[in-house]
Amino acid sequence: MTNSNFLITIIGPTAIGKTALSIALANHFKCEIISCDSRQFYKEMRIGTAVPSNEELNAATHHFIQTKSIFENYSVGDFEREAILKLDELFQKNNIQIMVGGSGLYVDAILKGFDDFPEIEPKIREEIKREFEASGLAFLQKKLKELDPIYFEKISIENPQTLQNPQRMMRFVEVCFGTGKPYSSFLNQKKNRRNFVPIVIGLEAEREIMYDRINRRVDIMLNDGLLEEAKNIHPNKHLNALQTVGYRELFDYFDKKTTLDFAVEEIKKNTRRFAKRQLTWFKRTENVAWFDYETESDTIINYLKSEIEKQCQ
């Protein structure tokens, strides 16, 4: 395995310090960074998604940050294809690269690939879309519960926000209708092969510390102009990319449904909930070395060097 490529992947909840660590590692290993934070892809959403500062972006080469527009349809499958191509290119320069992000589904897409799903006839997709437009999310939730109760139960417990995502729910239901089989029956099949060895490290903190860091980050975002940023994209609030914590709450304020103080508290509360869900997802990831968020980067670098050395023996 002496010629192996290694993808060092940093996971953990929002506001835990992943960006700073990724830059330290990229500088040490003289490599680049693949970002897999699905909220940071979009040019119009900088402050509310905690995009790395210009100083941080200049400290190491980053990819997949603010490369798309909220008006583009950009799926996790699109990201998988583009990121794998970019990694193939980067591994030609250095057999160690860094990936960082808090979007568990996107991390999994790169590390493991996706299950193969059959093509679904467009007319089935159109029919389900019409039903959704007529009856709303309740129709999709009811159908998934009927057609794939196992998967419905799984996401209700592990990833409940998915039940509120029309695109994802329509996809689940169309696969059930189009194949006559439960969506879950296509999961955990043979995955795509990867030309790298993943080494995954996680950052964590006591819950009170994590929540305090989140609350302070929201205050910083507001000071940096989050209100103005959200106001600029408010006319497009229906877009899928904008169904995001930090923006939805302010859209309610602009629509005079809440006060600003209430909206800010909701951002903090919903971001804390989001962080909790991130941790639940990541704690299921196999072979993760977890470190306290205050661990010195040198300690983590020594761990990584020993892991790479082990793999090369």
Domain limits of the chain?
A: 6-114+191-312, 122-186
Asked if the model's pLDDT at residue 209 lies above 70, the reply is yes
Which amino acids are annotated as binding site for substrate, given as ranges? 14-19
132 and 166 Cβ atoms separated by less than 8 Å: yes
Residue percentage of the chain with pLDDT more than 70: 96
Asked if the model's pLDDT at residue 9 lies above 90, the reply is yes
The pLDDT tens digits of the residues spanning 256-277 come to 999 999 999 999 999 999 999 8
pTM for the full predicted model: 0.79
Q: Which of 52-66, 120-134, 176-190, 255-269 has the lowest mean pLDDT?
A: 176-190
CA distance 243 to 239: 7
CATH class of 122-186: mainly alpha
Non-local (6+) Cβ contacts of 188 within 8 A are 115
Asked if the model's pLDDT at residue 19 lies above 60, the reply is yes
| pLDDT for res 190 | 59
CA distance 201 to 22: 11
**Can you list the pairs that 121-128 forms with residues at least 24 positions away whose Cβ atoms lie under 8 Å?**
121/178, 124/174, 124/177, 124/178, 125/170, 125/174, 128/170, 128/173, 128/174, 128/177
122 versus 50: the higher-pLDDT residue is 50
Which amino acids are annotated as binding site, given as ranges? 12-19
| pLDDT for res 2 | 46
Asked if the model's pLDDT at residue 1 lies above 60, the reply is no
Q: Which residue's structure tokens are 């790395």?
A: 52
| pLDDT for res 159 | 77
Side-by-side strand order, sheet with 62-63: 62-63, 33-35, 96-100, 6-11, 197-204, 288-292
Asked if the model's pLDDT at residue 191 lies above 70, the reply is no
Q: Which of 120-124, 128-132, 163-167, 220-224 has the lowest mean pLDDT?
A: 120-124
Asked if the model's pLDDT at residue 287 lies above 80, the reply is yes
Q: Which of 129-138, 145-154, 185-194 has the lowest mean pLDDT?
A: 185-194
Query: So what's the architecture of 6-114+191-312 in CATH?
Result: 3-Layer(aba) Sandwich (3.40)
Mean pLDDT throughout 152-165?
A: 86
CA distance 56 to 67: 17
Asked if the model's pLDDT at residue 102 lies above 90, the reply is no
Total Cβ atoms within 10 A of residue 60:
19
Q: Return the exposure string of 289-301: e unless at least 16 CB atoms fall within 10 Å of the residue's CB, then b.
A: eebebeeebeebb
Residue 142 binned pLDDT confidence (cut-offs 50, 70, 90):
very high
| pLDDT for res 122 | 78
Residue 89 binned pLDDT confidence (cut-offs 50, 70, 90):
very high
Which amino acids are annotated as binding site for ATP, given as ranges? 12-19
